[in-house]
Structure 1
C-alpha cells in the first residue's frame, strides 16, 4: 500500500481561531494589491508566527511520474463465481460416475451377448443388458453436455482467465471464493483506451488515508453500465478494507510519463473554485499560486507541472495562510465601505 500523511486541516483551524483571538491580530498581515484584488495577496508572518502554526516548507524538484487515469472501481460479489465453480465440480463428478457405470454396463452387455451366442443365457437377459448399456450411454452423453455447457458459461460470464480457473479450480479462484482476495472491476472513462492492459493500479481505501494495490487479472467481460467504458478485472487483498458492493476511485497508469512536482494534499487549498499552493516570497512573506490538478495520484495528491523551478512550497500551514489572507481581504473590504 502507498501511504500518505494524515490531514492536519482541523488542527490548523483550531490554532488559527486561537491566534485570531490572541496577539496575532496586530502581527499577521496580508498586503492586498490595489488592482481590484485580482492578484493573490502577499501574506506576511513573522518567524515566531510561522513556528506557532507549525509551518513547514520544502523545495521540491520536478521528476518523471507515471501518468495516471482516474477510473471507477466496483468490488464485485463473487457469489455467481462460487455457484459456477460448485456446479462444474458436481457436473464433473456426475460425468465420471456416468463413465464408470457405462463401462460396467458395456462389459455386462458384451458378456451377455457372448452367452446368448453360446445358448448359455436366455435372449431376454441379453436384451435387458443391452437396454442398461444404451441407457448408460445416454446418461454419459447428458453428463458430458452439462460439463461442456458449464465450461462455456464460465468463459462467457467471466472471460478466458477466470473461466479457466473455474474449470481447473485454480488457487486464484479459490482465494476469491474464500475472500482471501477481492475481485475489483475497474472501468476507464468513456472514450479512453490503453495500448495494452495495465499490470497494476491503485484504489482509494474507504478510510481515504491509504491507496490499495490492485493487481491486474484479465479483461472484463462486461462494462459498468453507468460508465460505458473499457473495463478490467483486478484483485485486491481481502484485508484491504474493501467490501463487495463498494465503489471506489481507481488510478490506472496510462503507460506514459509525466514530469512534475509531487504535491501532497496538506499543501493544497481550495479557493474560488480552483486549487492553489503557497510559495515563499521572502523570509516572512508567502504568496498564493494557482495549480492544475489534472494529474491525480490519489483523491487529494497530485503531480503538478506549473510550479516555478526552485520554489519553496508550503507543505504544512497552507490552510492557515489562506484563512489569514481571507481575513485580511474582509478587513480591507470593510475599510472601503
Structure 2
C-alpha cells in the first residue's frame, strides 16, 4: 500500500497532514512525508502559520471532580401543592382570628364571673350568656384547629415532612412557591442505584429535546412515594423559575457523589463536535496537533466540560488548543479530501 502525501495552504503558509491509520504506508519520494501512528489524526502546521492563524494552546485548569450519578428528572405541576398550602394558610388565618376572639371572650367571662359573685352586679342571665359565648368560641377554635391539622397532614403525606414543616413555619421557600418564583423537580434514581445521602445540589444536563444544560437544582426533601414507572428512590429538588424549566418537562439530572478526585476543566473554545462526538486537539509541540476524543458526562456551568485527570490520557499538564480548533479541523478535512482525489 502506498500513502500519498498532501500539502495544504494555511494562512498562505505550508501545512501538511499526518493521518494515522491502521496500516503503515510509505510516501512517494516526490511527496512530503506522512507518519502513521494508530488511529489518530495529527495536523502539522508551520510555526509561521500557527502565529498568523491565531492558534493558541494552554494547560487546562485544575478543579475538583466527583463521580456523577445519572438520574431522571420530572418538573412537577405545583398547582396542587400551591392549593394545599393556600388552603392551609386561609385556615390558619381563621384559626388565629378565632383564637383572638376566644381571648376576648375569656377576659369577659372572667370579668362577668367576678361581677356576678360580687353582690350580683350582673344578672344570672347575663353571666350565663357570657359563659355560653365563651364555650361556643372554644368549640369553634377546636374544630378549626382540627381542620388546620388535617390540612397539614395532607401536605405531609403527599409531599413529606420538610415541606409540611416549611408550610407550618411559612418559610421563604413557601413564599417563593406561592409567588411562583421556584419550580419543583422530582429526581428519581435508577432502580439499581442508591445514594446514602442525596447531594445538596444537582445539575440538569438536558431539557428534553432542547439540549440545554447547566441549571442548578437545590435539594429539598425525600419523596414519600416511589415512582411506579421507575421504582427508584426519589427526591424533591427545586430551581429558580427563571431556569426555563416548565411543568411536565422530562430532564436528565446528574447527582454528584461525595468521593472527590482531581479533575480538569476543558473550556468550550477548545471543543469541536464531529459526527455526534466531542474532540479536542492536543498540542504536541513543533507544530503538531493531534485530535483526541473527549468525554462530556460532566458539563461545566461556565461552559465546556469537566473531566477526571487521567494519566496517559488528558491531564492537567496536557497542552490543549483553546483557540483555532475549527481551523485545524478544516485543514484536516481538506487534507482528507485532497488525499481521496489523489488516490483516484
TM-score in terms of structure 1 length: 0.71
Task: Summarize the Cα distance change of 1:41–1:255 in structure 2 as closer, same or farther, 3 Å threshold.
Answer: same
Aligned counterpart, 2:328? 321
Aligned counterpart, 1:8? none
Q: Quick check: 254-263 or 95-104, which moved more?
A: 95-104
Deviations, residues 188-221 of structure 1 (Å, cap 9, x unaligned): 3443222212122334598988834433222233
Q: CA deviation at 1:75?
A: 4.1
Q: CA deviation at 1:178?
A: 1.8
Q: 1:46-57, aligned counterparts within 5 Å?
A: 46-57=46-57
The correspondence for 2:306, drawn from 299, 302, 306, is 302
Task: Summarize the Cα distance change of 1:134–1:61 in structure 2 as closer, same or farther, 3 Å threshold.
Answer: closer
Q: CA deviation at 1:49?
A: 3.0
Distance 1:128 1:194 in 2: 63
Structure whose residues are more often helix by fraction: 1
Q: Quick check: 260-269 or 134-143, which moved more?
A: 134-143
Q: Which runs of 5+ in 1 are unaligned?
A: 1-19, 115-119
Aligned counterpart, 2:224? 221
Q: CA deviation at 1:164?
A: 1.2
Aligned counterpart, 1:178? 179
Matched, 1:27 2:14: yes
Aligned counterpart, 1:5? none
Coordinate RMSD, CA, aligned: 4.3
Distance 1:179 1:325 in 2: 51
Aligned counterpart, 1:158? 159
Runs of 4+ with deviation above 6 angstroms? 126-138, 205-210
**How many residue pairs are counted as aligned between the two chains?**
308
Q: 1:1-40, aligned counterparts within 5 Å?
A: 27-33=14-20, 35-36=22-23, 39-40=39-40
Q: Which SS does the other structure have where 1:194 is aligned? A: coil
Q: Which SS does the other structure have where 2:177 is aligned? A: helix
Aligned counterpart, 2:261? 258
Distance 1:53 1:188 in 2: 47
Q: CA deviation at 1:35?
A: 3.6
Aligned counterpart, 1:15? none
Q: Quick check: 297-306 or 251-260, which moved more?
A: 297-306
Distance 2:155 2:199 in 1: 24
Preserved contact between residue 205 and residue 241 of structure 1 (Cα < 8 Å): no
Structure of greater relative contact order (alpha carbons < 8 Å, 6+ residues apart):
1
Q: Quick check: 131-140 or 298-307, which moved more?
A: 131-140
Preserved contact between residue 91 and residue 148 of structure 2 (Cα < 8 Å): yes
Preserved contact between residue 205 and residue 242 of structure 1 (Cα < 8 Å): no
Q: 1:231-242, aligned counterparts within 5 Å?
A: 231-238=234-241, 240-242=242-244
Preserved contact between residue 40 and residue 288 of structure 1 (Cα < 8 Å): yes
Task: Summarize the Cα distance change of 1:26–1:283 in structure 2 as closer, same or farther, 3 Å threshold.
Answer: closer
Q: 1:1-337, aligned counterparts within 5 Å?
A: 27-33=14-20, 35-36=22-23, 39-60=39-60, 64-95=64-95, 100=101, 142-203=143-204, 211-222=214-225, 228-238=231-241, 240-245=242-247, 246-271=249-274, 274-297=277-300, 300-304=304-308, 305=310, 306-307=313-314, 310-337=317-344
Q: CA deviation at 1:32?
A: 2.3
Q: CA deviation at 1:48?
A: 3.8
Q: CA deviation at 1:242?
A: 2.8
Q: Which SS does the other structure have where 1:192 is aligned? A: coil
Preserved contact between residue 102 and residue 140 of structure 1 (Cα < 8 Å): no
